[in-house]
Structure 1
């Protein structure tokens, strides 16, 4: 049985129930830490919800299912690729030293085979979508491939993660409509700032280790201004979500749930503490709920009522 990783909850299903032989593979794909699946999936669900709401419809349930499976698989593939690239750095950082590749439980060749399998299944899902969505899916590979190297060349790898993790929003919109819209692009931009905020919080856990091994992050770059930076990112995320709903002509029921989304983000920013790693992890994980609030706000926006938009 492989050791439980520090950022996995003690009650995670992999450590409790998965066969010992499968545990390293499931941990390679981060299935013991599902928060990342939610955070990759939710922008796609939001894009599908926006597309439906603009037409006064619920999002397509089959499309939501495809996004869920695709997000789980592509997140697994991306994490495995990241672990291959970062295996030497991971071995020197307390939080990541026990990851399967860094600890030698899974070889680089085995991890590459894992990536290929996840990618092939994801490709099969992608090929069921309209041409524009397929091309957007192919284009996302450049973002995914470049991400592990960003922490070596820029202080803002969290911004690149935002570009990568929220690409599913425009892809899902294209899958639902076969076209693109400024509303979808604004929603995507808002998601980039959302990710920049929550991943800046996440990186608080590694401040000391990142400084020792020379890894760059927005958290290190902001220094004593981390809390102000996160607040600024979240204000931009909220404003752009409002702009997307306005341009998309969503109904007034979007606003109450969107307000809860904004309140959730503001409370996170208010609690940021660069000396408290466990709190940072908890705040990061709470973004699954924040993303769901925005998703349901977009769904509620399908009801236009007596006016065209709020």
Structure 2
């Protein structure tokens, strides 16, 4: 049976049915907003929060709260770069996306936006992000340039490795280094540990996310950590999350954060291990999506813990 063709009014499968784009945005703008995944803001949070955590860590090491101006700039930058990255990913993966039920309705794969239009969208978002980057210290300029290699290579990782989720971790958490550099105008071992912890956090939550596509990915020949791990995925997610919490603890200890950090870290670890890790099931994609979305709260808890560590 032929699937109905997606329209600009069709909510994408992993977007909330009541998302603001499908409810309130003008019809003509909806494909563009969906191209940038603005109907699914969880990805913006997950890209932004490592940057916020880096800003908070630098501030806490100096005994002060995170700089609100930097927090705002990283929020705007995360929204723009996530939109650019998603559009670029859709350009590269348009043939694969058309074969996967969850992604077949994406604007490029479904033909609602052409490849040339998607490239123009990507360039526009990148130029706006560049304007924000130039407001930061020069060290951030270098880090921003270095991040481009990670971003450019990511869509191809699912074709060449079983661990594209690890590459996403390297990419999405680069903001931890940039946030620290923006606030301190230098890098430190504690910032590197925070970044490493974020990599394992992403490896965990994106493995959960990939559970949604196990059957379609196998048919399309797409590799993922969830496919590679199979029935062992829940145990592996627990291990990834345990390492993430341990590395965050090492970052806090090396930075000399106060007791409120440790209280917040305990909540963060409980969220990862008890509320997510113990509940993951490889045969429940709907649960996987809910657990994945909860990581916005997990990252916010760690940000609050690091910020409170300044006391």
Task: Answer yes or no: same fold by TM over 0.5.
Answer: yes
1:194 aligns with 2:206: no
TM-superposed CA distance for 1:77, in Å, is 0.2
What is the Cα-based RMSD across aligned positions, in Å?
0.5
Gaps of 5+ in 1: 304-310
CA distance in 2, matches of 1:128, 1:224: 47
3-state DSSP of counterpart to 2:99: coil
4+ residue runs of structure 1 moved beyond 6 angstroms? none
Q: So what's the TM-score if we normalise by structure 1?
A: 0.97
Q: Could you say which residue in structure 2 is the equivalent of 1:301?
A: 309
Aligned length, in residue pairs: 303
Partner of 2:3: none
The equivalent position to 1:277 in structure 2, one of 268, 273, 285, is: 285
Alignment partner of 2:75 out of 68, 73, 98? 68
- 2:9 paired with 1:8: no
- The answer for unaligned runs of 5 or more in structure 2 is 1-7
| Aligned counterpart, 2:137 | 130
* C-alpha distance in structure 1 between counterparts of 2:149 and 2:37, whole Å: 21
SS in 2 for 1:216: coil
User: Is the CA contact 2:230–2:282 (under 8 Å) kept in the aligned structure 1?
Assistant: no
Alignment of 1:162-177 (within 5 A): 162-177=169-184
- Alignment counterpart, residue 80 of structure 1, candidates 84, 87, 91: 87
1:42 and 2:63 matched: no
Residue-by-residue CA offset, 1:273-301 (whole Å, 9 max, x unaligned): 01101100000000000000000000110
CA distance in 1, matches of 2:65, 2:162: 40
C-alpha distance in 1 between matches for 2:83 and 2:96:
19
Distance 2:62 2:257 in 1: 9
Q: Which residue of 16, 27, 30 maps to 2:34?
A: 27
Q: How far apart are residue 2 of structure 1 and its match? A: 3.3
Write the deviation string for residues 222-278 of structure 1: whole angstroms up to 9, x where unpaired.
111101100000000000000000111111110111100000001201000011011
When normalised by structure 2's length, the TM-score is: 0.97
